[in-house]
Structure 1
Amino acid sequence: MSNAPIILITGANTGIGFEVIKALVDSPNAYTILLGGRSIQKAKDAVKLAKEQFPNSQSTLSAIQVDIEDDASISKAFEEVSTKYERLDVLINNAGALFDFEIQSGRMTMREAWNKSWNVNTTGTQIMTHTFVPLLLKSSDPRLLFVTSGTSSLTETESSDMWVNKVPAKGWPKQAISMPSYRSSKTGMNMMMREWARVLTEDGVKVWCISPGFLATGLGAGPAANKEMGAGDPALGGKFIKDVVEGKRDQDVGKVIRSGSNQPW
């Protein structure tokens, strides 16, 4: 059994998840990295791409199928990791999605979008975590990370500097300028993190929510549109999360952390 830390990342075949993969395989440290994806083929394709980009990596990288909306898929992934590795050192709950624009386009009803937002971003993440905690507790340095949003801060809803907090004109209906189901589900995730931080205190598990910032990923309007709105390079998010894995924010456990600061509640 390898002594290299075993890291599982959900939703890792694209977006910030794949940037985390690239940052980790580019690290001089050796890891055993499990790239989780809903589609095993897409996960395998991402593994192949990462290996091509970093042929001299010290780490080993393999694909694992896990869909956090599917309890059977989560259980199967748990059995696979348990059988092959017997432990897990780092769980990065990265898988997430934004469905508010589906309401605006008419592709989803409000109920469908709100239920799916919470099912993916909060409920699915909770079940994934609950399932894998026994493997984390077998680690000598267990780390549990939740990827949240900069729009999830309750305190910062009072700031009109953020575009999602702009006050619309009087009257009804209101022009949709926000993403309430997404940001509320991520606020729920922040509370979930606090619960896990409390529950796992005596077990020595280091727990955080990671707020990577507004980055040009496929979330919402897509990479190009997000970049036009001022979004940063997704690689920044990958490096930030790698730094947390490697111990650079251990003083901020139990917090929602940003690069260089903590995010207000």
Structure 2
Amino acid sequence: MSKIVLITGSNTGIGLEIVKALAGASKPYTILMGGRTPQKVQDAISTVQKTLPSTSSTFTPIQVDIESDGSIEQAFAEVRSKYGKLDILVNNAGAQFDQQLAAGKLTTLSARDMWNKTWNVNTTGTHILTSTFAPLLLQSADPRLLFITSGTSTLAGTENPAIPVNKVPPKGWPKTGFSVPAYRSAKAGLNMLMREWYRWLKEDGVKVFAISPGYLATGLGGDPDFSKRMGAQDPSSSSAGPFIRSVIEGQRDADVGKVINKDGIQPW
């Protein structure tokens, strides 16, 4: 029987690359593609099926908005009713609003609202969804729980001047330049959340990881072209999808409970 994988935020960016990587595997997966907008998820499924027409994996759209408890509960009820278990949960859904606020694109949100929304999407909503689906993970013979984090979340890495967000601005006020403090803080919080879930589920045999996929030009911050100018890779040309599949398939089990990237362990 194929393993059942739920991927949130699966219709675009890193989430879609994970789907493609699993669909291209030699063994089949039952891929539950989570997303807020059913039509966008269905369009993504069609894209994968056209790209990989010989795939033996199956795809099921799951409508879920991780900012909504009701939406999470509805998605859980659907998965429980259809499958009764979940083998792998990939918490991929996330968002970065710092740049959009700075550019005046979030006219309905104050700075406080933006910070709260950033944590709600990247950390709080992820925790609530995981809490809801945990009973289904415990029905699996080989359960895995993945949190997609960020290279900008490492505390030790803030000393690295090669990372664009670490550039020190000139003295004076206001400060200008590329800065995403709300997003970085929320993803650092997600790393600690991963550690908590690792502790809670250790005796249940759940393998828990946080995965840092590299600097990718997704729609996360609302401007992929800007990210590319800052040195980000296009997700489709990166190794993010195959790397995350390798974690799902057990190739990084020696690093369970850590924040990992394709090169090793990301410093805390």
Shorter-chain TM-score: which interval? over 0.9
Please state how far the C-alpha of 1:176 moved relative to its aligned partner. 3.9
The match for 2:252 is 249
Task: Find 2:243's aligned residue among 234, 240, 243.
Answer: 240
Determine the C-alpha separation between the residues in 1 that align with 2:178 and 2:247: 33
RMSD over aligned Cα atoms: 1.1
Please state how far the C-alpha of 1:238 moved relative to its aligned partner. 1.1
**Aligned residue pairs: how many?**
263
The match for 1:95 is 93
The match for 2:75 is 77
The match for 1:15 is 13
Q: Are 2:114 and 1:116 aligned?
A: no
The match for 2:142 is 141
The match for 2:43 is 45
Q: Secondary structure at the residue paired with 1:200?
A: helix
The match for 1:191 is 192
Determine the C-alpha separation between the residues in 2 that align with 1:196 and 1:132: 12
Determine the C-alpha separation between the residues in 2 that align with 1:59 and 1:111: 43
Determine the C-alpha separation between the residues in 1 that align with 2:144 and 2:193: 15
The answer as to whether partners of 1:35 and 1:63 remain within 8 angstroms in 2 is: yes
Q: Deviations over 1:36-66 (max 9, x none)?
A: 1001111111111111111110111111101
The answer as to whether partners of 1:102 and 1:113 remain within 8 angstroms in 2 is: no
Letter of the 1:52 partner, please give it: K
Determine the C-alpha separation between the residues in 1 that align with 2:49 and 2:12: 15
Q: Secondary structure at the residue paired with 2:90?
A: strand
Determine the C-alpha separation between the residues in 2 that align with 1:219 and 1:76: 25
Determine the C-alpha separation between the residues in 2 that align with 1:260 and 1:173: 37
Q: Are 2:173 and 1:172 aligned?
A: yes
Letter of the 1:239 partner, please give it: P
Q: Secondary structure at the residue paired with 2:71?
A: helix
Please state how far the C-alpha of 1:101 moved relative to its aligned partner. 1.3
Letter of the 2:261 partner, please give it: R
Determine the C-alpha separation between the residues in 2 that align with 1:114 and 1:223: 21
Determine the C-alpha separation between the residues in 1 that align with 2:180 and 2:225: 19
Gap regions ≥5 residues in structure 2: none
Q: Which runs of 4+ in 1 moved over 4 A?
A: none
Q: Deviations over 1:74-96 (max 9, x none)?
A: 00000000000000000000000
Identity rate of aligned residues, in percent?
Answer: 59
Letter of the 1:70 partner, please give it: S
Q: Are 2:253 and 1:258 aligned?
A: no
Please state how far the C-alpha of 1:229 moved relative to its aligned partner. 2.3
The answer as to whether partners of 2:100 and 2:221 remain within 8 angstroms in 1 is: no
Q: Deviations over 1:230-255 (max 9, x none)?
A: 22241321111111111111110000
Determine the C-alpha separation between the residues in 1 that align with 2:31 and 2:258: 25
TM-score by length of 1: 0.97
Determine the C-alpha separation between the residues in 1 that align with 2:157 and 2:67: 30
Please state how far the C-alpha of 1:134 moved relative to its aligned partner. 0.1
Determine the C-alpha separation between the residues in 1 that align with 2:170 and 2:90: 40
Please state how far the C-alpha of 1:112 moved relative to its aligned partner. 1.2
Gap regions ≥5 residues in structure 1: none
TM-score by length of 2: 0.96
